Structure 1
Amino acid sequence: MSLTLDTYRPLGRSGLRVSPMALGAATFGTEWGWGAGPDESRKLFDLYVERGGNFIDTANTYTDGSSERLLGEFTRDSRESLVLATKYTTLRRLGDPNSGGAHRKSLFASVESSLRRLGTDYIDLLYLHVWDFTTPVEEILRGMDDLVRQGKVLHVAISNAPAWQVSRMQAIADLRGWAPLVALEIEYSLIERAGERDLIPMAREMGLGVVPYSPLGGGVLTGKYSRADLTAQDGASDEGSSRKSFNLALGTVTERNLAIADVVKEVAAELGRTPAQVGLAWTLRKPGVTAPVVGARTPEQMEGNLGALEVELTAAQLGRLDEAGRIELGFPHDMLASDHIRRVTTGDLRIETGR
């Protein structure tokens, strides 16, 4: 069954309704050496919203603040109908230790700055962007709850954090009557599936909607990399060369990942679709996933990405894709799923699960 941007999904345990694909605004601005200028960014925004999209993802330091500033301009006449998500914790001023981190001072200062840049008096969804390993969880949760009570933030969420800390935070929020976490943003794609070990099962159990970023594996799943890139020292010399060099430096171009991309290309050829559309369609249909974050530099790229909503994968194709990128879940998951454990715990009993 195909989807549309106006086929809305509830976000986690909240009643907030969001599109099944979020518009990633990290490409709004060219300060990082790639991305879209103001005019192109406006076209991307308009294309997404005109198709019924309402879920927009940014962060306080994306493109050195330009992402939020541009969104403030673009959303001026449609603010109430949109769900704006932003983040805090990354350094806003180099050399200032309190301009970043998860603590209360950083949280309040970052939110005030984001509100000014976005030209709004509230943020629909605020993520803790990166776990800092130093701030007590009670300080984070109480600060977030205070902002919710003040009306400056409507819902809170978390990204890039250990599963055990997220579940602990959710339990504390519930016990103390503080605002619960409603979303978990993680890197998740056919080539990055570590979230299947603990993060995604935890999110489903604790009521957090999963919002995957980099659902195309840094572009690897689009088919733009080849085995020649395995030994490349520099990126290509085209407009996206800086981004390509960045991805090569991150080590996402590996023999394993290129083999997965080959399977994606095979399935795409069978369906008459692009590899990017197939890679996104797989993520869109994974249990627990609310909305992958999809960015683009041009309207043509955005149109292509939105085409993933219409892709219908057969059970056999899903199985091939799953198998291509399958990972070992490790202990205790593989042990608990083994035939031996099934025999010693349930024997021949028939027990219905998943209710």
Structure 2
Amino acid sequence: MHGWDAHTPIEETLSFLDDAVRAGKIHYAGLSNFTGWQLQLTVSTAKAMGVHVPLTLQQQYSLLSRESEYEIVPAALHNNIGLLPWSPLASGFLTGKYQRGATPAAHTRAASANELYQWVSAEYAASDRNWATIDEVVRIAKETGATPAQVALSWIADRPGVIAPIFGARTPEQLHDSLGAVDLTLDDEATAALDKISAPTPGGYPYGAFGTRQRDRRLQGGDQALGDLIGSGSNQPTGRL
């Protein structure tokens, strides 16, 4: 299922997928581009109906796109759903071939006449965090003797729940380069550096520190968890001097 179908009852969809498995038309069912609640509803409904449960989730996931870690990855891990990240190289940005402020080469997606490619590239290029992450990937690649693509693929392949990244290689050289990530294992220091610099930066609620403490406070000392976060407040709540 390439996306959530809001017009068809999930029971009907799951019945069809179960019939397809039992008829031998497919071996397994998978999902793609689902939110956390959609994934959980699908799995819970399938279990309640006694039909085949989808086994995989194909989701955009990379060093430049980690927002799935808020709800979707935990839901997949809870249900033993395998993750198949698509665009693990962030449309080529994590190969190091793009330079900030520079005109992209003619053969790249960023320079393509395809409006989707243009929009995606502009989204990636607009983020300071993304460029800082790319710089860190390039730095680690130089230190390890690997390519930036191999570093990015090694990082995503080692994330919890990931079965295998899905990427498109346009040339044999690109395929050979990407497959080289199989032999690369990032050490704890490199992994921690990439985790830190690429971490999404949500607002305080619901995925930031305030929202997290709200969910956890009953397990961690009541309101003290919030007290640890806010401290003694601020003498300048409006930011004025």
Distance 1:184 1:333, change over 3 A: farther
- The match for 1:300 among 173, 185, 188 is 173
Matched residue type, 1:312? T
> Residue 312 and residue 203 in structure 1: after superposition, are their counterparts in 2 closer, same or farther (change >3 A)?
same
Give the CA deviation at 1:312: 1.6
Q: Which one of the candidate residues 31, 45, 53 is aligned to 1:172? A: 45
What are the within-5 Å matches in structure 2 for residues 329-348 of structure 1? 330-331=205-206, 334-335=209-210, 337-338=212-213, 341=217, 343-344=220-221
Which stretch shifts more, 327-336 or 287-296? 327-336
Root-mean-square deviation (CA, aligned residues, Å) is 2.4
5+ residue gaps, structure 1, are 1-127, 348-355
Percent sequence identity is 35
Which residue of the partner structure matches residue 140 of structure 1? 13
Residue 270 of structure 1, aligned match among 138, 143, 152:
143
Q: Give the match for residue 317 of structure 1.
A: 190
Q: CA deviation at 1:261?
A: 0.3
Contact 1:170 1:180 in 2 (8 A): yes
In 2, distance between residues paired with 1:244 and 1:280? 25
**How far apart, in 2, do the equivalents of 1:244 and 1:226 lie?**
20
Distance 1:189 1:244 in 2: 22
Counterpart AA for 1:252:
Y
Kindly state the Cα deviation for residue 243 of structure 1 after the two structures are TM-superposed. Answer: 7.5
Query: Aligned-pair distance for 1:244?
Result: 8.3
With over 3 angstroms needed to count, the CA separation of the structure-2 counterparts of 1:271 and 1:280, relative to structure 1, is same
Distance 2:124 2:53 in 1: 34
Query: Following TM superposition, by how much is the alpha carbon of 1:176 offset from its aligned partner in structure 2, in angstroms?
Result: 1.1
Task: Give the structure, 1 or 2, with the largest relative contact order (CA under 8 Å, sep 6 or more).
Answer: 1
TM-score, structure 2 as length reference:
0.81
Structure 2 letter corresponding to 1:302: L
- 2:118 pairs with 1:248: yes
Larger deviation: 193-202 or 332-341?
332-341
Match of 2:78 in 1: 205
User: Displacement, 1:272?
Assistant: 0.8
Query: Where does residue 281 of structure 1 map in the other structure?
Result: 154
Count residues with an aligned counterpart.
Answer: 216
1:238 partnered with 2:107: yes
For residues 58-77 of structure 1, what are the structure 2 equivalents within 5 Å? none
Give the match for residue 186 of structure 1: 59
Q: Alpha-carbon deviation of 1:136?
A: 1.3
Residues 86-125 of structure 1: pairs in structure 2 closer than 5 A: none
| Deviation digits for residues 250-270 of structure 1 (CA, Å, limit 9, x no counterpart) | 222223212210010011111
Q: Is the contact between residue 236 and residue 244 of structure 1 (CA under 8 Å) also seen in structure 2?
A: no
Letter in 1 for 2:68: G
**In the alignment, structure 1 residue 157 sits paired with structure 2 residue 50:** no
Structure (1 or 2) with the greater strand fraction: 1
User: Which digits, 9 at most, give the CA deviation of each residue in 1:281-321, with x for residues without a partner?
Assistant: 00010111111112201111101000111112111110000
Gaps of 5+ in 2: 225-241
